[in-house]
Chains A and B, each alone.
Chain A
Amino acid sequence: MKSQKSSYWRSLAELENSAEFRELLEREFAAPPENVRLDSPERRRFMQLMGASLALAGVTSCRWQKDKLLPFSQQPENMVPGEPRFFATSMELGGSANGLLVTSYDGRPIKVEGNPEHPSSGGAANLFHQASLLSLYDPDRSESVVQRSGGARQVSSWDAFEALVKERTAALRANGGKGLRVLAEPSSSPSLADMRRRLLAAFPSAQWIEFSTEGDNQQAGSLLAFGSPYRSHPTLGNANVVLSLDCDLVGPTHPFGVANARGLVKGRTPDSGNMNRLYAVESTLTLTGSIADHRLPLRSELVKAFAAALDAEVSAKVLPPAELGPAQAKPQANFLKDPKVFKFLAVLASDLAENRGASAILAGAHQPPEVHALAHRMNAVLSNIGRTVLYRPELNRTPDRELESLKRLTEEMRAGAVDTLLIIGANPALTAPADLDFASALGKVSASIALGEYEDETARLCNWHLPLAHYLESWGDARAHDGTLSLIQPLILPLHGGRSALEVLALFAGDNRREGLDIVRRTHAALLGSDRAWNKAVHDGFAAGTTPPRFFPTLKPLSALQFSARELGDSNVSNGALELVFLPDSKVYDGRFANNSWLQELADPLSKQSWGNAARMSPKTAAELRVGEGDLVQLTLAGRSLELPAIFTPGQAEGTVAVSLGYGRHAAGHVGGLDEAGVEPVGANAYALRTIEAFHIAPSLSVARVGGHQDIATTQDLYAIDPVGKIGSEGRLSELVREATLEEFKKEPHFAREAPREPLLSLWSDPVSYQGHRWGMSIDLNRCIGCNACVVACVSENNIPVVGKANVIKGREMFWLRVDRYFKGPPEEPQVSFQPIPCQQCENAPCEQVCPVGATMHSHEGLNDMVYNRCIGTRYCSSNCPYKVRRFNYFNYHLDKVGVTPFNVVTDRKKLIQHMAFNPEVTVRARGVMEKCTFCVQRIEKTKIKAKNARRSIQDGEIKTACQQTCPTDAIVFGDLSDSASQVARLQALPRAYALLEELNNRPRVRYLARVRNPHPELA
Chain B
Amino acid sequence: MAIWTEANPFLDPPAGENSFSRITHNVTRVAEAEKPPKAWFIALGISSTMLAIFGISIAYVFWNGIGSWGNMHPVMWGFPIVNFVFWIGIGHAGTLISAILFLLRQTWRTAINRFAEAMTIFAVMCAGIFPGIHVGRPWLPYWMFPIPNQMSMWPQFRSPLEWDIFAVGTYFTVSLMFWFMGMIPDLATLRDRATSTPRRLIYGILAMGWRGSSRQWHRYERAYLILAALATPLVLSVHSVVSFDFATSQLPGWHTTIFPPYFVAGAIFGGFAMVLTLAVPARQFFGLKRLIAIRHLELMNKILIATGLMVGYAYGMEFFISWYSGSPYEGFAFVNRAFGPYAWAYWTMVTCNVLIPQLHWFKEVRTNPWATLAIGIAVNVGMWFERFVIICTSQSRDFLPSSWGYFIPTPFDYMTLCGSFGLFFTLFLLFCRYLPMVAMAEVKAAHPDAHAAHAQAHAAVTEAARA
Q: A interface vs B, CB < 8 Å? A: 716-717, 722, 724-725, 728-729, 731-733, 735-736, 764, 807, 810-813, 818, 820-822, 835, 837, 846, 849-854, 870-876, 878-880, 882-884, 887-892, 927-930, 997, 1000, 1002
Chain B residue at smallest Cβ distance from A717: B404
Q: Does B76 contact A (CB under 8 A)?
A: yes
Q: Which residues of B contact A733 (CB under 8 A)?
A: 401
Main secondary structure of the interface of B (DSSP, over half): loop
- Tell me which of B153, B248, B402 has the highest count of chain A C-beta atoms within 10 A of its own C-beta: B402
22 contacts between A and B (CB under 8 A): A717-B405, A722-B341, A724-B339, A728-B397, A810-B72, A811-B405, A812-B67, A821-B402, A849-B159, A852-B144, A870-B143, A873-B135, A873-B137, A875-B71, A875-B135, A879-B77, A880-B249, A927-B65, A928-B65, A928-B66, A928-B135, A929-B136
Candidates A729, A874, A883; contact of B161 at CB < 8 Å: A874
Instruction: Check B335 against A882 for contact (C-beta < 8 Å).
Output: no
Q: Which residues of A contact B160 (CB under 8 A)?
A: 850
Candidates B76, B340, B398; contact of A875 at CB < 8 Å: B76
User: How distant is A246 from chain B, measured CB to nearest CB, in Å?
Assistant: 28
| B residues 58-81 in Cβ contact with A at 8 Å | 64-67, 70-74, 76-77
Instruction: Check A812 against B72 for contact (C-beta < 8 Å).
Output: yes
Known interface pairs A882-B400, A928-B66. Does A888 touch B137 (Cβ–Cβ under 8 Å)?
A: no
Instruction: Check A722 against B249 for contact (C-beta < 8 Å).
Output: no
Q: Which residues of A contact B135 (CB under 8 A)?
A: 872-875, 928
Known interface pairs A725-B341, A811-B405, A928-B65. Does A997 touch B71 (Cβ–Cβ under 8 Å)?
A: no
Instruction: Check A872 against B249 for contact (C-beta < 8 Å).
Output: no
Instruction: Check B67 against A879 for contact (C-beta < 8 Å).
Output: no
Q: Which residues of A contact B154 (CB under 8 A)?
A: 854
Q: Does B395 contact A (CB under 8 A)?
A: yes
Q: Which residues of A contact B65 (CB under 8 A)?
A: 889-892, 927-928
User: How distant is A889 from chain B, measured CB to nearest CB, in Å?
Assistant: 7
User: How distant is A270 from chain B, measured CB to nearest CB, in Å?
Assistant: 25
Instruction: Check B73 against A888 for contact (C-beta < 8 Å).
Output: yes
Q: Which residues of B contact A732 (CB under 8 A)?
A: 328-329, 332, 399, 401
Q: Does B32 contact A (CB under 8 A)?
A: no
Chain B residue at smallest Cβ distance from A999: B327
Interface string of B237-253 (1 = CB under 8 A from A): 00000000100111100
Known interface pairs A732-B329, A888-B73. Does A852 touch B156 (Cβ–Cβ under 8 Å)?
A: yes
Instruction: Check B335 against A724 for contact (C-beta < 8 Å).
Output: yes
Q: Which residues of A contact B70 (CB under 8 A)?
A: 810
Q: Does B363 contact A (CB under 8 A)?
A: no
Q: Which residues of B contact A850 (CB under 8 A)?
A: 158-161, 248-249
CA gap between A745 and B72 in the complex, in Å: 40
Candidates A736, A852, A890; contact of B159 at CB < 8 Å: A852
CA gap between A822 and B404 in the complex, in Å: 13
Q: Which residues of A contact B104 (CB under 8 A)?
A: none
User: How distant is B133 from chain A, measured CB to nearest CB, in Å?
Assistant: 11
CA gap between A793 and B186 in the complex, in Å: 70
- Name the 10 nearest CB pairs between A and B, nearest first: A873-B136, A928-B136, A890-B67, A729-B401, A884-B403, A820-B402, A928-B137, A854-B156, A875-B76, A891-B65
Other than the given A733-B401, A810-B72, A872-B136, 9 more pairs (CB < 8 A) read A716-B404, A731-B328, A732-B399, A736-B400, A837-B402, A850-B160, A880-B251, A884-B73, A891-B67
Q: Does B155 contact A (CB under 8 A)?
A: yes
Q: Does B8 contact A (CB under 8 A)?
A: no
Q: Which residues of A contact B404 (CB under 8 A)?
A: 716-717, 725, 729
CA gap between A1000 and B141 in the complex, in Å: 30
Known interface pairs A807-B67, A852-B155, A878-B73. Does A872 touch B400 (Cβ–Cβ under 8 Å)?
A: no
Instruction: Check B143 against A872 for contact (C-beta < 8 Å).
Output: yes
CA gap between A887 and B67 in the complex, in Å: 13
Instruction: Check B336 against A890 for contact (C-beta < 8 Å).
Output: no
Q: Which residues of A contact B249 (CB under 8 A)?
A: 846, 850, 879-880
| B residues 269-326 in Cβ contact with A at 8 Å | none
Q: Which residues of B contact A807 (CB under 8 A)?
A: 67
Q: Does B165 contact A (CB under 8 A)?
A: yes
Instruction: Check B398 against A884 for contact (C-beta < 8 Å).
Output: yes
Known interface pairs A854-B154, A929-B136, A997-B399. Does A811 touch B72 (Cβ–Cβ under 8 Å)?
A: yes
CA gap between A532 and B245 in the complex, in Å: 67
Q: Which residues of A contact B161 (CB under 8 A)?
A: 850, 852, 874, 876
User: How distant is B68 from chain A, measured CB to nearest CB, in Å?
Assistant: 8
Q: Does B162 contact A (CB under 8 A)?
A: yes
